């Protein structure tokens, strides 16, 4: 049982690294199997298709992050707006560490995949969209709490949360294109100043 689990974990970890560092389309099952040291037969036992593998990679990474640094950043013990700074720090240090190992800043796995597959694979697009919605809901919760305690004036929290996520993803994309994580450190903290007011109904 344990070795089965190890095999699956090895495939996932290898795919995660390759999809993130390179791309989805560019990486074949053959290469994943050879780097993960598993037979093609056992690959298909766990993942009937490459799409199934991509779904598992997305779920695995989003769970890991949700329980790891995202939980640490969106800690209820921190002031709601301060959580945004922790989130930016998490992105900055993670990207910086990845760059110092690989030489290239990998960007956001979900952002990379979303750009690559959204027009080609409806199932993966929907899965990635769900990850973004979940991320946006963390921002939304922080904003609602900040309003509740009077730290910020009332605003459209849902739209602002989505705009904050869009800003962060955009900053990561620019930083990746410049191959410079300092872009995240310099621009990231401005995420706190994003505001979208309620539209007047009349």
Partner 1 sequence: MNENTHTLDARGLSCPLPILKTKKAISALAAGEILEVIATDPGSVKDLDSFCSQTGNEMITSESSEDGFFFRIRKA
With contact defined as beta carbons under 8 Å apart, do 157 and 138 qualify? no
Backbone φ/ψ region at 107: left (φ over 0), alpha (ψ -120 to 50), beta: left
With contact defined as beta carbons under 8 Å apart, do 85 and 192 qualify? yes
Smallest distance from partner 1 to CB 141, Å:
18
Smallest distance from partner 1 to CB 112, Å:
19
With contact defined as beta carbons under 8 Å apart, do 129 and 154 qualify? no
Nearer to partner 1, 58 or 73 (CB): 73
Nearer to partner 1, 38 or 188 (CB): 188
Nearer to partner 1, 86 or 132 (CB): 86
Nearer to partner 1, 176 or 185 (CB): 185
b/e map 172-190, b = 16+ CB within 10 Å = bbebbeeebbebbbebbee
Smallest distance from partner 1 to CB 150, Å:
21
For binding to partner 1 (CB under 8 A), which residues are involved? 68-69, 72-73, 75, 78, 86, 89-94, 96-97, 100, 185
């Amino acid at each position: 049982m344990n070795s089965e689990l190890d095999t699956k974990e090895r495939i996932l970890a290898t795919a995660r690294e390759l999809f993130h560092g390179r791309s989805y389309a560019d990486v074949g099952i053959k290469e994943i199997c050879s780097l993960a040291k598993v037979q093609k037969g056992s690959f298909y036992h766990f993942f009937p298709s490459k799409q199934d593998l991509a779904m598992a990679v997305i779920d695995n990474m989003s769970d890991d992050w949700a329980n790891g640094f995202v939980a640490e950043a969106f800690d209820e013990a921190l002031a709601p707006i301060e959580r945004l700074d922790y989130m930016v720090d998490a992105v900055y240090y993670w990207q910086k560490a990845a760059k110092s190992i690989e030489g290239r800043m990998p960007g956001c796995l979900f952002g990379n995949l979303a750009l690559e597959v959204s027009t080609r694979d409806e199932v993966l697009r929907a899965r990635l969209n769900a990850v973004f919605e979940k991320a946006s809901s963390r921002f939304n919760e922080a904003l609602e709490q900040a309003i509740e305690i009077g730290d910020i004036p009332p605003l459209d929290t849902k739209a602002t949360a989505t705009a904050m996520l869009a800003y962060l993803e955009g900053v990561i994309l620019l930083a990746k294109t410049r191959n410079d994580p300092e872009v995240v450190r310099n621009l990231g903290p401005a995420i706190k100043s994003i505001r979208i007011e309620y539209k007047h109904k009349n």
